[in-house]
Amino acid sequence: MIFVFREPHYLTITNATREDRGRFTCLATNEAGTFEQSYTVNVLVPPKLENENKAFLEETVLVNRQASVSCFIVAESLLDIEWWKDGQPLTSLKPGTSLDSSKKRLTFSQVEIDDAGNYTCVASNQAGQINITTSLQVLVPPFWKKVPNQDEIFGKDGVSLDLECDAGGFPAPSLLWLKDGQILEAESANIAIKDNGRVLRILSPSDKDSGQYSCVATNPAGTLEKNVKVSIRVPPSLLYVPISKIKVLENRAVTFDCPVEGKPAPEITWLLDREIIDEKSPFIRFSNQRKHLHYLRVTGSGNIIFSCVAKNPVGELVTDFFTEVLRPP
């Protein structure tokens, strides 16, 4: 404390502190007597932060959980407290929001997304004013905005296929793609990931691209995963080119080989001169999933055509066998 006397009648206290509180007495004396005047000095102290280095705080909470923001301010005399949100006074509280008796704690019973923002507590008394701001962040776990609505997706060999996946949440989730549990790189020989992970494009699908694909959405509030099975359908094709021109003696046996493959496995139908073969004939036998036709006795003479028709949902393949039946002399 610093005491400054101005003339004999004044005492000035500069930079008053709480230590200057007390009773001050002015005593005047002369030959005729003594006079004294006493004053009680009360030094008012403005409010201050509990932690002088923390005028801005951050609070993070999951949506629908209980949350609170507090006014970490202390004062020796009665405080007047006001709350503001994002620069606007909180004149009323919505249902589920309350203040404690001291008005220093604002509580949300189930915090909602629109409760996020900057909450400022303004505390004042006769000596001054101070404020503290808390940034309330409401985290929202990932939720799907768009995902494949079926458990299995069929693609066609050689025709590009898109898988789409989009998630919401706060903060915005990151998206990651996996195939059979292995992370897919954004750019690879046959894969392109577009639109911040929302689209996975298989550029030229083949059977090796079949498998389980997973879209994983992640943010600090949680993780969400969607699995889908991808099956690439392959039209029928020949493993190798079979002999297509055959000569056989009348009344002898002959075997035709139709080495087809595809996905799903093609259904095979055999034709004789463009008509479905009579499978009830005692001279007809099939083997190797109908890929082999055994004709036990060829009758007649001249040229006939046996045909292998292989068909699945994405294609059809016809393989002809030009057969010359020879009659012995």
For residue 6, what pLDDT is reported?
Answer: 61
Whether the Cβ atoms of residue 227 and residue 213 lie closer than 8 Å to each other: yes
CA angle 236, 240, 241 (to 5 degrees): 95
AA letter at 31 = E
Query: Does the reported pTM lie above 0.85?
Result: no
For residue 2, what pLDDT is reported?
Answer: 57
Using DSSP's 3-state secondary structure scheme, residue 207 falls into: helix
* Residues in Cβ contact with 207 at an 8 Å cutoff, skipping those fewer than 6 apart: 157, 232, 234, 263
Closest CA to 168 of 240, 224, 241, 238: 224
Mean pLDDT by runs of 10 across the 329 residues of the chain is 64 78 83 85 84 89 95 85 95 92 94 96 91 96 92 94 96 96 85 93 94 96 96 96 92 95 96 93 94 91 93 96 89
Q: What is the dihedral of CA 100, 106, 110, 113, to 10 degrees?
A: 170
* Residues in Cβ contact with 273 at an 8 Å cutoff, skipping those fewer than 6 apart: 304, 305
pLDDT in tens, 175-191: 999 999 999 987 777 89
pLDDT in tens, 245-295: 999 999 999 999 999 999 999 999 999 999 999 988 999 999 999 999 999
Cα–Cα distance list, 221 to 66, 118, 168, 169, 218 (Å): 15, 20, 12, 8, 8
CATH 2.60.40.10 residue spans of the chain: 48-141, 147-233, 239-326
For 147-233, the fitting CATH number among 3.30.2130.30, 3.40.50.1980, 3.60.15.10, 2.60.40.10 is: 2.60.40.10
Q: Which CATH architecture has domain 48-141?
A: Sandwich (2.60)
Tokens 């004042």 found at: 124
- CATH no. for 239-326: 2.60.40.10
